Amino acid sequence: MAADTQIVRLSAAQMAQKLKDKEISSRELTQAEINVIAAAEPSLKAFLTVSAKQALEQADAVDEARAKGEELGPLAGVPIAVKDMIVTRGIETTAASRILDGWIPPYDATAVRKLKAAGMPILGKTNLDEFAQGSSTEHSAFYPTHNPWDTTRVPGGSGGGSASAVAAFEAPLALGTDTGGSIRQPGAFTGTVGVKPTYGGVSRFGAIAMASSLDQIGPVSRTVMDAALLHAVIGGHDPADSTSIPEDVPPVVEAATAGQNQDLKGLKVGVVKEMQGEGYSPAVSKRFEQCVDKLRQMGAEVREVSLPRVSYALDAYYILMPSEVSSNLARYDGMRYGLRVMPPADQPQTSAGMMAWTREMGFGDEVKRRIILGTYALSAGFYDAWYGSAQKVRTLILCDFEQAFGQVDVLVSPTSPVTAFRLGEEITDPMTMYRNDICTIPANLAGIPAMSVPAGLDENGLPIGFQIMAPQKRDDLMYRPAAALEKALEQESGSLLDKLSAPWLDKAAKAGDVDADQAATIGKAEQKAVMDEIADRMKEER
């Protein structure tokens, strides 16, 4: 059993090599991950559903195919976790909302279909802020996820579940969705790699919509190369998504490979002037500068670049995002799937009443706040002043990036101004919470690719993230400096995640193989308790 601990600490690329060399089977690897999940979940709460049975079946199918000598993809047999914002056929999908509790989708997202075609067993669905709305995963309707570096702290959000799971070795890879930083900021908080591809680079078909013009599915991993390999699997044109770019995935794996040479000569790097200084923790600023120095030492030409109107990005985002949210979340009305709550007995038992009480009981506070704000922003008489103006700001931000990318190949900034905060610490004031995404939001508005790579630890031993942004459709450009920086930092002080004490690994090793049926119960009792509260609250209403 001791071997388990070693297997799960490997990168996805290393796992793939061992599978290819038949040193391990996909079943062994998948079972090892399930064992870690069972041991870690009580302290992390990264998963909402563990689909152990399906994962092991998929693993067996890959092992069989390999035994037959069939041609397999580069990640065949490597298991993966999927953010519960992405639809999986036959596996409960909830968006961490009471309103979708128990929903078993009849179809797969395109990205999930591609994972299955690539032979990647799906371990389960990871926790998030309800409908991906939040920056801490505390807004999950069911339970908050904890940061494996310090379980009293948040893993960031909305994709805290995917980031924690990957950081804690519960899964080598995960899928996330990023609307304003939901892949990158948790990456920074957990010491993992998080990539938001170019808007339209990965199909959104089957990604539950939060804000359609900003949402993008992307990889969560422990290494830059792993992210590139996963990016290549899920990316590319999809005729089922009208906003999908009709082009092949940029050569991201080649770029990551090239970066490992640590030769960045000829690469022009722009430090964003507006994403530093006041409001950034000293440790974040210091590590950021050290990383920029490393890029320079590897031959990159570094200069400061201004995005003069980026200060309006947060404001524009908090108009556009809730507007789209208010419309995208209308379909959760108790008619076709998910929760239905009838009005209290003294009120009309109509469809309209049912919808209103279903949505009142089914949505959490943050979601309701955004729906109401977005409804206001779109209402007659305010459209031009709010939504219309925000769309114009979007044009200005696109112009700013265009000018910047006329001068440099990539832009860099801290991923987040701060490191992981304590659970409950920032939830009270919405604007404070929103400001966490100040460095990540501009890339979503401009549709450009951006990624966060680990940049070391702060004085509390908490991870810090370094963000790299590239022009639209040039996702490959950011992988080269990312891989180079990763290697340089590793040479300096070793792999970051090796520093993570992960007591659940020993616990898993001692506990032995966890049964699939038992794994499927993980989290379910707590989720049922949350759903039971609805009935209690409705009793009070009567």
Catalytic residues: 83, 158, 182
Least distance to another protein from the beta carbon of 314, Å?
A: 8
- The pattern of x and - marking residues 290 through 309 that bind another protein according to CB under 8 A reads -------------------x
Chain positions 485 to 514 lying near another protein, rule: CB under 8 A, are none
Kindly tell me which of 339 and 420 has the beta carbon lying closer to another protein: 339
- The pattern of x and - marking residues 235 through 274 that bind another protein according to CB under 8 A reads ----xxxxx-xx----------------------------
When binding is defined by CB under 8 A, the residue of 100, 234, 267, 438 that contacts another protein is 100
Kindly tell me which of 32 and 112 has the beta carbon lying closer to another protein: 112
Residue 182 interacts with another protein (CB under 8 A)? no
- Which residue type does 278 have? E
CA distance 329 to 368: 10
Least distance to another protein from the beta carbon of 530, Å?
A: 18
Residue with tokens 């980031």: 163
Kindly tell me which of 206 and 417 has the beta carbon lying closer to another protein: 206
**Distances, alpha carbon 97 to alpha carbons 129, 139, 426, 427, in Å:** 9, 9, 21, 18
Pairing of strands 80-83, 173-177: parallel
Least distance to another protein from the beta carbon of 46, Å?
A: 22
Kindly tell me which of 116 and 309 has the beta carbon lying closer to another protein: 309
Q: What is the dihedral of CA 86, 89, 90, 94, to 10 degrees?
A: 20
- Which residue type does 477 have? L
CA distance 123 to 138: 22
Identify which range of 341-349, 414-422, 508-516, 527-535 contacts another protein by CB under 8 A: 341-349
Kindly tell me which of 332 and 479 has the beta carbon lying closer to another protein: 332
Least distance to another protein from the beta carbon of 107, Å?
A: 5
Half-sphere exposure (Cβ direction) of 356: Cα atoms closer than 13 Å: 9
DSSP-assigned states of every residue in 335-348: SSSS---PPPTTS-
Least distance to another protein from the beta carbon of 143, Å?
A: 21
Helix-helix angle 252-259:475-493, to 10 degrees:
30
Q: What residues pair up with 153 in beta bridges, in sequence order?
A: 422
Chain positions 191 to 220 lying near another protein, rule: CB under 8 A, are 198-200, 204-209, 211-213
DSSP-assigned states of every residue in 96-165: T-GGGTT---SS--HHHHHHHHTT--EEEEE--SGGG--SSSTT-SS-PPPBTTBTTB---SSSHHHHHH
Six-digit token string for 504: 């659940």
The helix/strand/coil state of 474 is coil
Least distance to another protein from the beta carbon of 364, Å?
A: 11
CA distance 482 to 439: 17
When binding is defined by CB under 8 A, the residue of 283, 292, 398, 538 that contacts another protein is 398
Chain positions 346 to 385 lying near another protein, rule: CB under 8 A, are 346-357, 359-360, 363, 365, 368-369, 371-373, 375-376, 378-380, 382-383, 385
Q: Which of 262, 263, 284, 265 is nearest to 275 (CA)?
A: 284
Residue 391 interacts with another protein (CB under 8 A)? yes
When binding is defined by CB under 8 A, the residue of 160, 447, 481, 523 that contacts another protein is 447
- The pattern of x and - marking residues 127 through 166 that bind another protein according to CB under 8 A reads ----------------------------------------
Residue 64 interacts with another protein (CB under 8 A)? no
Chain positions 405 to 444 lying near another protein, rule: CB under 8 A, are 429-431
Identify which range of 133-141, 276-284, 338-346, 515-523 contacts another protein by CB under 8 A: 338-346
With contacts defined by CB under 8 A, how many residues of the chain interact with another protein?
103
Opening angle at CA 167, ends 164 and 169, nearest 5: 105
In what order do the strands lie in the sheet containing 450-457? 47-50, 122-126, 80-83, 173-177, 217-221, 193-196, 450-457, 463-469, 410-414, 268-272, 301-305
- The pattern of x and - marking residues 311 through 330 that bind another protein according to CB under 8 A reads -x--xx-xx---xx-xx--x
Residue 522 interacts with another protein (CB under 8 A)? no
CA distance 428 to 416: 19
Kindly tell me which of 268 and 309 has the beta carbon lying closer to another protein: 309
Chain positions 456 to 475 lying near another protein, rule: CB under 8 A, are 472-473
Q: Phi/psi class of residue 84: alpha, beta or left (left: φ > 0; alpha: ψ in -120 to 50)? A: alpha
Chain positions 2 to 61 lying near another protein, rule: CB under 8 A, are none
Kindly tell me which of 215 and 409 has the beta carbon lying closer to another protein: 215
- Which residue type does 383 have? Y
Kindly tell me which of 2 and 380 has the beta carbon lying closer to another protein: 380
Least distance to another protein from the beta carbon of 247, Å?
A: 11
